[in-house]
Structure 1
Amino acid sequence: MRIGVAPASTRTCAAAIRSLLEQSSNSSSSIEVRAWYRDIAKAPSEFLSHANFEAVKGDVSDASSFDFEGCDVIITVPPPFFKHENMVELSENLSRNIKTAIEKSTTVKRLVMMSSMGAHLYDGVGEIKTKTAAERILVETRIPRITVIRPAYFMENWAAQYPTLKAPEPSVFSYLTPSDWKLEMVSIKDVGKLAAKEATADAPQSTPVYICEIQGPQKEGYSSLEVRDVLTKILGKEVNLQLIEKSKLPDFFGAFLPSGCVNEFVEMASSFLQGGALNVNPDPQANVVHGDTSLESALEEAIREQEKISGNSA
C-alpha cells in the first residue's frame, strides 16, 4: 500500500508519517509513504533514512505539482494561515488543488483529511472557518472512501510559550478563562496515529464520509489551572498563570498578528469559552474517539523538542 501525504510539513502530517513508518517497520504489511514538500530540505532526516519513505517536491498552491498516480490513499491537512487576511479563500484554493489531483489519479480510493473541532460550523469559530471551507470542498471528492478527523485543541500548543516558561520566573499565558473552565485537548501524536490507522484500515466504512472528533484521555478536558500544574511539575519550578480575559483578546492577538487577522483569532478563542459556539453547537454527526497520550507526557516531549531547537539556534 502506498500512502501519499500532501502537504507533509505540518505537525499532524509529520505525526501521521511517523506512525505509518513505525507500522511499516513493525508489521509484515508493505506500507510505503510518498510525502510532498514545497522544500524537500524540510523533510526530517528520520524519515529520509527509512527505506519506505520518499520525499517529493510539490507546492500545494500549484495543482500541477502533484501527481498522486500510484498512491492508494492520500492524507492531507489544510495548512494554517496565521498571518493571511484572506485565509478562507486560500484554504478553499488549496483544497481544490488537492481535490483536483486526487480525481486525476486512477489509483487513489481513500482520502484522510485532518481538520479541526468546530469545522462543522460556518459562524462563530474564527480561524477554524478555514477548515470548514476545506471540508466542504474535500468531502465532495469523487472517491469511494473519505475520513475527516477533527482534533481537539493540541496539547503541544502550550510548549510554544517556551521562552516565558524558561524565564527566571516561569509563566504561561492562557485565554482559557475562568481558570477552572475546561477545554478538550489532544496530543498531536494521537492525531497522527488515528490518521495512520484510518489510512490503512481494512474494515468497511459505514458511510462514504466518516467524521470523527479526537480528544485526549481526560474526557472532560483540561483547565488553565491543570495546564499550569502540569508545567510546574515538568519544569520543577512554580509556573505563574497569567490569564487573558475575553475583553483583552484583541490586544493579545494584535501584539503579534496582522490587524486583518485579529478578529478571526479573537472569535476562535472566544468559541472555546463558556457560551462559545463550540460549546453551544456540538456536531451530532461526529463520532468521538479518545487518544491515550496524557497532557504531561505530551508537554514533556514538546518541551524537549523546544530545548533541542533552542540549543541548535544558540
Structure 2
Amino acid sequence: MKKIIVSGSLGNIGKTLTGLLVKDGHDVTVITSSPGRTQAIEALGAKAAVGSVSDPVFLTNTLQGADALFAMTPPNMGGENIVANTVNAGKAFADAITKSGVPRVVMLSSVGAEYTDGTGPIKGLHQIENLYRQIPGISLTILRAGYFYTNFFNDVAMIQHMNIMGSNFPGDVNLPVVHPDDIAAKAAQALLVTPTGTDIQYVVSDVRQPNHIASVLGNAAGKPGLPWVPFTDEQALSGMTQAGLPAEMAGLYVEMGQAIRDHKLMTDFEKNGSPVIGNIKLEDFAKTFATKFTA
C-alpha cells in the first residue's frame, strides 16, 4: 500500500483516478480548494486536504510522508494573468515537493508543452515541466495529454443553434484527442512505479481530423452531415467572449488554435511516432456526447 496524493479535486481525471487507487488498496488524499467536496471525497474512500494549490505551506504539509504525487495545476486560474497564476501554482508544488521529500511525481502536461510560447495556456505547462525537472532526486514522469474529448461539450450550443462545429483551425489536421479516464488509468499505473530520472509519455486515446470528429459526433447527436467550419481568429475570439469566456482566456484558446492550425502543437508527438495508448475511441465518446447533447 502506498500513500498517494492526488491534486485536481474530483474533476474529470481526479475522481476516476482516486477511485482506481482506492480500489487497489492505497491510502489516497485528494487536494481540493472546496470544503464542500470533502464528503464526496470521503465517500470514495479517500481523505480530503482542503487548501490552495498556490500555497506552498499547505502543500508541503499535505505531501509529508507521501510516496507519490499526481500533480495537476488547474487549467483556468482566474480571468486575468492566467498563465502566471498557473506557473505560480507550479512553483508552489515544486517548493512543496522539495521540502516534503516526496520521491515520485507524475505531472499532467499537454501535447505541445515543449514550446516556450505560441501555444496558449499550454505555455504555462512548459514552465512547470522545467521547474519539476530541476528538483533534485525525484522520479518524474510527465504525461503529455492530447486535446480533451470533453472540450467538445463546449460546442453543444453551437450545434444546437448554428448546426455546425468549428474553431480557428481547419478540418483536415490530425488532432490527438484523449478521454480523461484514459489519463486517469495511465496516471494510476505510473504512480505505482519509481523509474530513475525523468521521462515523458504521451497520453492519447485517438487521432482524428476535426471533419471526422464533427461527422461522428453529429451522427450520435441526431445531426447527420454536421460540418466542421474553420473560423478566422477574430471570429473565434468574438464567439468565445460572447459566450461568456473571459477575454484573456479566449485569447489563449485562439493562440492554441493557431498552434494546431500551424501544426506546431503536434510536432513532437508525431516525431515520437504518434503513440496512442488510450482505449476510449471517438465513437465511444460519441455516446456520452449524445447524452449531453439531448440533455
Distance in 2 between the 1:73 and 1:287 partners? 28
1:252 to 225, 239, 260: 239
SS at match of 2:66: coil
Aligned to 2:175: 183
Distance in 2 between the 1:118 and 1:194 partners? 19
Distance in 1 between the 2:179 and 2:33 partners? 26
Distance in 2 between the 1:191 and 1:77 partners? 12
Distance in 2 between the 1:110 and 1:230 partners? 39
Distance in 2 between the 1:258 and 1:85 partners? 8
Q: TM-score, normalised by structure 1?
A: 0.81
SS at match of 2:227: strand
Aligned to 1:271: 259
Aligned to 1:65: 58
SS at match of 2:117: coil
Distance in 1 between the 2:267 and 2:200 partners? 19
User: What one-letter code is carried by the residue in structure 1 that aligns with 2:165?
Assistant: F
User: What one-letter code is carried by the residue in structure 1 that aligns with 2:52?
Assistant: D
Distance in 2 between the 1:119 and 1:86 partners? 19
1:127 offset after TM fit, Å?
Answer: 1.6
Alignment of 1:134 with 2:122, yes or no, is no
Alpha-carbon deviations, 1:104-135, whole Å to 9, x = none?
224x2100000111111012212211111221
Gaps of 5+ in 2: none
Alignment CA distance shift 1:74-1:271 (3 Å): same
SS at match of 2:29: strand
Alignment of 1:13 with 2:14, yes or no, is yes
SS at match of 2:13: helix
Alpha-carbon deviations, 1:78-105, whole Å to 9, x = none?
1112753312221221111112222222
Aligned to 1:27: none
SS at match of 2:238: helix
User: What one-letter code is carried by the residue in structure 1 that aligns with 2:56?
Assistant: A
1:10 offset after TM fit, Å?
Answer: 3.8
2:87 to 85, 92, 95: 92
Aligned to 2:199: 210
Give 1:90-239 correspondences, 5 Å limit: 90-106=85-101, 108-165=102-159, 167=160, 171-175=163-167, 177-201=169-193, 205=195, 207-216=196-205, 218=206, 221-238=207-224
1:38 to 33, 42, 67: 33
Aligned to 1:81: 76
Q: TM-score, normalised by structure 2?
A: 0.86
Q: Is the 8 A contact 2:169 2:231 kept in 1?
A: yes
Distance in 1 between the 2:51 and 2:225 partners? 42
Gaps of 5+ in 1: 25-29
Distance in 2 between the 1:50 and 1:281 partners? 37
SS at match of 1:278: coil
1:243 to 229, 243, 257: 229
Alignment CA distance shift 1:44-1:199 (3 Å): farther
User: What one-letter code is carried by the residue in structure 2 that aligns with 1:212?
Assistant: Q
- Identical-pair percentage: 22
Distance in 2 between the 1:146 and 1:286 partners? 22
Alpha-carbon deviations, 1:260-312, whole Å to 9, x = none?
44432211111112x332245658579945211111212323554677xx6xx
Alignment of 1:293 with 2:294, yes or no, is no
User: What one-letter code is carried by the residue in structure 1 that aligns with 2:183?
Assistant: V
1:233 offset after TM fit, Å?
Answer: 3.2
1:252 offset after TM fit, Å?
Answer: 2.9
1:60 offset after TM fit, Å?
Answer: 1.0
1:223 offset after TM fit, Å?
Answer: 1.8
Cα RMSD (Å) of the superposition?
Answer: 2.8
